[in-house]
Amino acid sequence: MTIEICDSEMFDVYSKAIKNGGSLFDSVYYFVDNFSPDSETLVKEYQAVINALINRTKIKLYKATKYRVKLPGLADSFGQQYVTRLKNGDSYFACGEKKNSVVIDKLIQEFAKDEVDYIMKSVIEGIVEEVK
């Protein structure tokens, strides 16, 4: 059986954990010590990798479809706004499309389907407050 994950950084750490060899404990310890999921989306894959290390199951990397969430009607001098979050954060905000590689390394504007579903659910179930 092979488990598929889509996060390349996680896969790299997993590969190093396997290459380092050693005991089962060493592999799991290396992985946990060198990778921390930065979103709810990655938690499932993170847990799957730990289970795979424990059970000596192989993992392969696949390219997942990514989505950008456009915010219609929201634009500023930088153009169209998109849902964005910091790479190591869990809060979302509106921001113009990022094309600069330095900024891209810090901000995420492309999300896996399950994170998009979470974002959309949060927007739809958002709280409207009366202003007095």
Q: For 67-120, how does the pLDDT look when each residue is reduced to its tens digit (9 = 90+)?
A: 999 998 888 887 899 999 888 777 889 888 877 655 667 888 888 888 888 888
Task: Tell me the average pLDDT across 26-52.
Answer: 85
What is the rounded distance in angstroms from the CA atom of residue 69 to the CA atom of residue 11? Answer: 26
Confidence of residue 124 (pLDDT cuts 50, 70, 90): confident
Q: What is the pLDDT of residue 6?
A: 79
DSSP string spanning 102-124? HHHTTEE--B-HHHHHHHHHHHH
Burial category of 60 from C-beta neighbours within 10 Å (exposed 0-12, middle 13-18, buried 19 and up): exposed
8 Å CB contact between 68 and 33: no
Proportion of the chain above pLDDT 70, given as a percent? 91
Q: Flag whether the pTM goes above 0.95.
A: no
